[in-house]
Structure formats: structure tokens, C-alpha cells
Amino acid sequence: MVMEGEIWVYMEHDRGQILESSLKCMSEGRKLAVNLGLDLACVIINPPFEDIGSVLKDYGVDKAYIIQGIDLEGHTSYVNSLILTDLLRMHAPLVVLFAASSEGNELAARVAAKLKRGLIENCIDFEIDNEGRLLARKPFCGGKLHATLTWTKRPYIATVDTNSLTVEKAKEVKPLKVVTVELRQTFEDKVRVVDYVRADPKKINVNEAEIVITVGRGLGEARFLKMIEELADILGATIGGTRPTVDEGWIPEERKIGSSGKEISPTLHIACGVSGASHFIVGVRNSKFTIAINKDVSAPIFKIADLGVVGNLHEIIPLLIKKLRESKLKNIRLK
Ligand SMILES: Cc1cc2nc3c(=O)[nH]c(=O)nc-3n(C[C@H](O)[C@H](O)[C@H](O)COP(=O)(O)OP(=O)(O)OC[C@H]3O[C@@H](n4cnc5c(N)ncnc54)[C@H](O)[C@@H]3O)c2cc1C
């Protein structure tokens, strides 16, 4: 089967920056483009920067579709889906990838529905089979099984689970072709944004959190969770746990970290009383900075820690809470 057309990646941005999840998605898109010998293109609606070439130069992008227009201020994903659907009809790419973020998931679903095409969500890998078909792999049954799926009609639309991916830069800088789409019409939005409310860190998914505290069996008893919650409150952190803490009923199942739980990639991960077994490490290896507190200097968790504290967590955590309170630090933002 001969595959023609471009590989498109939808780029999300916030506060003047392309989101890391989109850059990870771009790395996945580039692998596909290289394997299929096709061009990699990105789509950016209302880019907050002028020099698109310097923003994209490290990512091996061949083409950038830039959509801008006076009516885009305050637009929602409903309007974006109308714009994107028109663009897809016009340019007929082979593949369209979105990061599996809340915006990416919503937009991909709306676009697929408008085009009456299949959408494969939360993909973790892509491959081409012997017949030249593009296949996507995604976890199901809570990650216990993987399904391999394909599409029957193009464009092949997918969201990519970027939690276990890294941003990979291209080996060579390519000349970038910029296609600017200047919108003139007004879109009637069916959705009105009333307010944005920052999520309560205690309630958000562990794999979406910026700061995660994981607890292990070393905590001793469920009643000591109060101390961890106090630390989490000060830091604006989300709490997860190892399998034994879930089995003990201290931590809910959906907050289990590891090979049989969630994979996290927070900016800061604090492991308290966690030994660092390989099944757990699988779930935390993409954390940007890890602090481990463990009384056993030979605990494997120290091998992956950026900062290791050897000692009794029942002494260290109250001290840490005291120091943080003295510094009046509240809900730190790391990005
Ligand atoms: C098929 C399979 C799948 C699995 N999937 C997962 C998974 O998804 N997630 C997962 O976590 N595990 C998983 N496991 C289990 C995994 O192998 C480990 O047994 C588990 O991660 C250990 O959890 P832990 O670190 O809480 O406990 P332990 O290994 O018992 O470690 C407790 C640590 O706390 C330290 N400690 C004790 N008291 C203190 C104190 N007062 N202060 C400081 N430190 C202290 C100890 O030194 C020790 O290092 C799986 C196992 C199998 C076989």
C-alpha cells in the first residue's frame, strides 16, 4: 500500500509557549514521517509568536500551517474544530495527531465526528505492517492489555498519550515552508467560556499533576497520610502510592503508580518510604526532578533520585513542613 500525504501535528500553546505535550507529539509525528518518507507539518491556530521558524527549527518540521484572523480572540475548541475541519478537507493529510490532553481529546473527537472518520485515542505507538497499513497501539483494560488498531479511511486521526514520551530534537534543521491562512469570517461559537478555575491538586489525575508525592509501605500506617496531605497542601501536590499502599487501602486504586498503575511525568516527584522496585520505577522514570526520602541508604529509589534524603520520614517530613511554613511558601508553580 502506497501512502501519500502529510503527517500533521496539532500544536497547543499557552502563555506564549508551545506546550511540551505538543512537542512530544511532534517527536512521534516525525518518527512516522521519517518511516513513511512523508513530510511533517504542524498546525498552529493563532500563534503567540512571530518568528515561527526559530520556534520550530529543532523539530524537523517541513511545513507549518498558521491560522490567524481577527475573530479568533477568546475562541473555544468548538471554533477550532470548524477551522481545522475546513483545513483538513482542503489539504487532505494522511495522518493528524493531537496530544491526548483535554484540548487535544476534545478537538480530535469533534474533528473526527465532523469528517465522519475514525479516531484512535491515547495511542502509545505506531507501526507499519507487512501490508503497508498504519497500525496504532493503545492500552485498554486499565493498561493490562494493549490493542492494535487501524483506520479504514483517511485522514487517520489519533490522540497520543505523551506521558511516557520525551521531546526529541531532529538531527538536522530543515527549511520550513510556512502556509498562512488568514481568516476573515466570524464563527458563531456554541460554547462560551465563563471562567477558568485552577483544579484542586488533591482531585486531579496523578498523571496530569505538576507535583506528585508518592507514598510507600515505609509510611507505616494510614493515619500518617495526614502528614503527607499537609505537605501536599503546602506544595499544591497530588498524592499517589505504590502497589502495597493501594493493597492496604491507604491510597485509591486510580492513584497507583507503576507498571500496573499510572505513569507520571511531573516536574517534581517526592517519594516517601518507597523502596524503588522496578515495577514502581516504570511509572516515575519520566519525572523531571525526584526527591527520595528513605531510611535505607541502599534503597534502589536513590539510583533514580536527583536528591536523596537518608532518614526516617516521620522526622524529615514534619521538619520539611515546618521549614516550608516558615518560608510562607504556598502552592508553588514550577513552570
Ligand atoms: C506483576 C507485578 C506488578 C507490580 N506492579 C506494581 C506497580 O504498578 N506499582 C508498585 O508500586 N509496585 C508494583 N509491584 C510491586 C513491586 O514489585 C514492589 O513490591 C512495590 O513497589 C514495593 O512497594 P513499596 O516501595 O511501598 O514497599 P517496600 O518495598 O516494602 O519499601 C518500603 C521502603 O520504605 C522504607 N522505609 C521504611 N520505613 C521508613 C521510614 N520510617 N522512613 C523512611 N523510609 C522508610 C524502607 O527502607 C523501604 O525501602 C508489582 C509487582 C509485580 C510482581
- pLDDT in the model for residue 334: 54
Neighbouring C-alpha atoms within 13 Å toward the C-beta of 326: 6
Q: Which atom of ligand 1 is closest in space to residue 316's alpha carbon? A: 42
Show the DSSP H helices in the chain as ranges. Answer: 20-36, 52-56, 77-91, 102-115, 225-235, 243-247, 278-284, 301-304, 313-326
The residues near 254 (Cβ < 8 Å, ≥ 6 apart) are 205, 206, 262
Task: Between 166 and 143, name the one with better pLDDT.
Answer: 166
Q: What is the pLDDT of residues 56-107, one digit of tens each?
A: 989 999 999 999 876 666 667 888 999 999 999 999 999 999 999 989 999 9
Question: How remote is the CA of residue 214 from the centroid of ligand 1, in Å?
Answer: 11
The region of weakest confidence among 24-28, 53-57, 140-144 is 140-144
- pLDDT in the model for residue 165: 84
Q: What domains appear along the chain, each with residue ranges and CATH number?
A: 7-183 (3.40.50.620), 206-326 (3.40.50.1220)
Of the candidates 260, 267, 225, which has an alpha carbon nearest to the alpha carbon of residue 242?
260
- pLDDT in the model for residue 114: 97
Q: Which set of grid coordinates corresponds to residue 22?
A: 505538543
Q: Which residue has the least CA distance to atom 47 on ligand 1?
A: 296
Question: How remote is the CA of residue 241 from the centroid of ligand 1, in Å?
Answer: 9
Model confidence at 332, pLDDT cuts 50, 70, 90, reads low
Q: Which residue has the least CA distance to atom 9 on ligand 1?
A: 258
Q: Which residue has the least CA distance to atom 7 on ligand 1?
A: 258
Length of the chain: 335
**Burial environment of residue 304 by CB neighbours within 10 A (0 to 12, 13 to 18, 19 or more):** middle
β-pairing verdict for 156-160 and 95-99: parallel
Average pLDDT, integer, range 141-153: 87
Q: Phi, psi (5° rounding) for residue 72? A: -90, -5
